[in-house]
Structures are given as C-alpha cells and as structure tokens.
Chains A and B, each alone.
Chain A
C-alpha cells in the first residue's frame, strides 16, 4: 500500500477468481460431452465480456474528448474494465479450436452446396479469421494500454502532457473502435449464419457494448457512492447527467436495432430475413419481446422522468434492468444461429458465463485496486470539482 492507492472499494477478488476457475473447469466437461453447446456458450460469454471492456474503452475515450464532471467519478471503473482486454484476448483462444462447431463456412459440404458462401471463401476462411482476430485484439490492447499508461503518468505529475496525449489518441480511437469492431462482429457473430449479412449490424453491436458498459458503471457508481473517496463526486447532479447519457444510449441502441429490423423486414429477402425468422421461432419470440420491453420501453419511459435519474438507487435499478437485458440480447444474437428451432439454453451457458465472468471480475477488481479512485491530477478535474 502506498499513497497512490486507496483502500479496496469492492471486496470479493478471491471468491470471483475461484468462481471463474471452477466455472471454466466444469465447462471443460461440456467441451468433451457436447462441443457445439459448449462453443456457442463460450462464444456468448467471450463476446459479452469483450463488449464490457470495449464499451468501457469507448466511454473512456468519449470522456477524454468531452470532459465533464460525471466522467471523473467513473474514470477508474472504465479504465479497470478496459484493462481486461489482454485477459479476454487470452480467453478467446479456445474459440479457435471450435470454429467448425460454430461457422458454416468451415464445412466444405455446406460451402459446395451454397453458391453465395462459395463466393465468400476469399474472406471467410480460417487463416483470415485468425489474422483479423489477432489484428483487432492487437489494436484494442495497444490503444487501451497507452491510455492506461498515460493515465498512470498523470497521477504522479501536474504536467498536462499525459492528458493531452490521451485526448489526442481518443479522437482517432473513437473512429478505429467501430471500424475494428466491424471486422470482429462480422467474423465472430454474423458469419454464424450461412448467408445473412447486415451493414448495420456491427454498429448495433458497438452501441450495445457501450450501453452494457454504461449500465455496469452506473451500477458500480451507485454501489460505491457512499464510500469516502467518491462521496464528493456522487452528487444528485452527477447521477442526473449519467442517467441522461444512459437514456441517450438506450434510444440510440433501439434506433439502430429497429432500423435494421425495418430495412430487412421491408426487403423480405430470403438471405436477410432468415436471421429474424431464426430469432422469432418458438421460444425465441418471447426472448425478443423481453428484450424490446426491458432494453427499450421500460428504461426509456422511466429515464424520461427526472426524479428517476436523480435518485441513485432508482437509477441503479433501471441500469440493472438494462444490464440484464443486454446479457439476454447477446445470447439472443448468438445462440439462434446454432439453435434456430426454438429457445435453447444449456447449463454450459451458465458455467462459461460465470467462468469467464469470474476471471473478468477478479481482474477488474485487481486493476481497480492498483490506482487511486479519483484522477486528482487531471487538469480539468480541479475545474470540474468545486473545492
């Protein structure tokens, strides 16, 4: 312990590490017995947690560019989540052993029978998948490490240079993030369907990631707002602002999700509509309705009201509603490609989610514990906080 570290805000590092190791350990049984169910579940968990880290990186870069009082309170949460990208890159490796379980373009018989898929072989092939995956992780890790390194430098200096560097990187960074995520979304998720494509899909995934990360940091902020270090930042006004931001992203997400539906529904072409047919078949229909209700309608109407955004416990409940819906959305986005007949969930889904989640959370807490909770030396922090 030194002066630059605050006492741990949130306990549970060891427990979550244990849950993570146990979860992944038990999941290995699934890998052996039902590899398809395992890989679909594993991909879901990886995509979900890479989304929390990337979404946090996105919000972090937005705040580096715009500044604002709200961001200083949650800066460390965002940095701790973005700091998990190397871990999640490592956890991605098992997916490479299950490509044949996940992607139709890996099967020569399916490709031979499908003219459209055969034409896509120049892009959708194993070497391309691996190279692009390594490339996007490399970009994300280098970008996030630079931001974290400069942020740590800023903690021990009164010079404005580190903050200037962070701001300079964040501008291009916010362009690079959706561009790299486009490759990842196409490779990892979109190509699970034999023919389906949607140009709106990657940005929908990106905004979903930011929405999920925002819901998480609101939960964490509301939870820790009583602690001594964050109390002065935990004003009603701050929760109001961050609640407005949540409303903006709920609307943005719904706009994109509906935009994609409207375009594909209007076109009604076999290659496109299949995605929605798979996602409204049998029990999946109820999942779709759940998502519409709890990721848009309920939070949207609640967040229109000022008192909801100003009371941190109420705002936290809305954020929890969005966060849980976001988990369901990722499962609904991925699983029906492998199980188009109707609702499916496996015990392996739960064990992989808690396995990767446990490790992610332990690393998050470890990252959080290594830094001061408030970026006191940020040149704009002093202006933003009334002394």
Chain B
C-alpha cells in the first residue's frame, strides 16, 4: 500500500472552510492546511497558524534604517569630511531620505524573502496535487487537508470527523 500524505475535504464556500478549520483545530489537529482560490480572511487564525513575519519585517526595517544612517554618517563624518556650506558634518536632515528609503528596502526585502522561505517555497512537488479535483483550488473550491503526521491522525476516525463537517468530497492524498 502506498503511503498517504493526508485526508482532504472539499468545500464549496470559504465560510465552510473557515468553519471546518475551526472545528478541526478545536478537535486538536495541528498538522493541517487550508487551500483556497483567494486569500480568506480569518483562515490562518482558524488553522492556528502563527507567523513571525511581522517581527522579522520590523527587524529588517530597523537594520535597514540604522545601516543607512551609519553609512551616511561614516562617509560624511569619518571617511570624507567635507565642509558643505558651513553645515555640520553630521547633517541629520539631509540623511533622513536615504534612511527612510533603506528602512523601506530592508523591510520589504525581508518580507519578500522570508514570506517565501517561511512558507517553504519554492517547492516543485507537493502531494496535494495528487488529488484530481484539487486543481479547482485555484478556481472555485476550498480544501482542508489533515496530514497523516498529525499525532491525532487515525485513518477512519479522521475520515468520520471530516464527514461530520459535511464536505462535498473526501479524498486520500497520496504521498
């Protein structure tokens, strides 16, 4: 027998998916994921997914800003001190635009790379695509997949649990 990745339930609306995710989380499942054609408000919270991305972006922004100011200060005060119109060498108002820009750059690069990295992308193969109707996850269907590695996963019992959520279909996902 082929090894299974998990059990997948199919829903026709995003409300049902969020509701199902909440039920599954209440039941104790943790290794699960939801799939939808558009970003569903509240789905990540319902699945109990937490992200450190906001904190990382904040740190990225602060590093970008401090780095920029240090670069300008070092260039203008230490390395190449030049008297420009009698202004102080450490002319903070003139340094603000670059500091601001590199704060944004630091924050956005962090957001871009860490959101890819933390979601495990790029990923050329994912078992959920073994389910034929899963292609509708990018059109008009909503899926909840409970993975076999969850400590509460028990084949038929889990199937019964998913059945209690009134899905359209339930499929076994091959690894």
Contacts and interface: CB of A to CB of B under 8 A. Distances in A.
B96 A262 contact: yes
A262 B94 contact: yes
A266 B96 contact: no
A185 interface: no
Contacts of B87: 268
Chain A interface main SS type: helix
Nearest to B97: A262
A304 B87 CA distance: 34
Nearest to A259: B97
Interface string A271-310: 0000000000000000000000000000000001000000
B94 A258 contact: no
Interface in B19-60: 58
Contact of A265 (B58, B93, B97): B93
Chain B interface main SS type: helix
A261 interface: yes
Contacts of A261: 93
B124 interface: no
Contacts of B85: 268
A313 B88 CA distance: 44
Tier of interface size on chain B: under 10
A266 B91 CA distance: 10
Contacts of A265: 93-94
Nearest to A264: B93
A262 B92 CA distance: 10
Nearest to A266: B94
B39 to A, nearest CB: 15
A319 to B, nearest CB: 23
Nearest to B58: A304
Contacts of A268: 85, 87
Interface in B87-143: 87, 93-94, 96-97
Nearest to B92: A265
Nearest to B87: A268
Contacts of B58: 304
B76 to A, nearest CB: 14
B51 to A, nearest CB: 12
A266 B58 CA distance: 30
Contacts of B97: 262
Interface string A248-268: 000000000010011001101
A268 B94 CA distance: 13
Contacts of A258: 93, 96
Contacts of A266: 93-94
A245 B87 CA distance: 37
Nearest to A305: B54
A268 B97 CA distance: 18
B87 to A, nearest CB: 8
B97 to A, nearest CB: 7
Contacts of A304: 58
A304 B94 CA distance: 25
Contacts of B94: 262, 265-266
Interface string A171-182: 000000000000
A304 B54 CA distance: 10
A265 B96 CA distance: 13
A238 to B, nearest CB: 14
A266 B97 CA distance: 13
A261 B58 CA distance: 27
A262 B96 CA distance: 9
A307 to B, nearest CB: 11
A261 B96 CA distance: 11
Interface in B125-172: none
A182 B87 CA distance: 32
A195 B73 CA distance: 34
A273 to B, nearest CB: 12
A178 B100 CA distance: 27
A303 to B, nearest CB: 14
Nearest to B57: A304
Nearest to A261: B93
Interface in B60-88: 85, 87
A268 B91 CA distance: 13
Contacts of A262: 93-94, 96-97
A258 B93 CA distance: 8
Interface in A60-105: none
Given A262-B94, A266-B93, A304-B58, 11 more contacts: A258-B93, A258-B96, A261-B93, A262-B93, A262-B96, A262-B97, A265-B93, A265-B94, A266-B94, A268-B85, A268-B87
12 contacts: A258-B93, A258-B96, A261-B93, A262-B93, A262-B94, A262-B97, A265-B93, A265-B94, A266-B93, A266-B94, A268-B85, A268-B87
Considering the complex of A and B, which 8 residue pairs feature the smallest CB-CB distances, nearest first? A265-B93, A262-B93, A261-B93, A258-B96, A268-B85, A266-B94, A262-B96, A262-B94
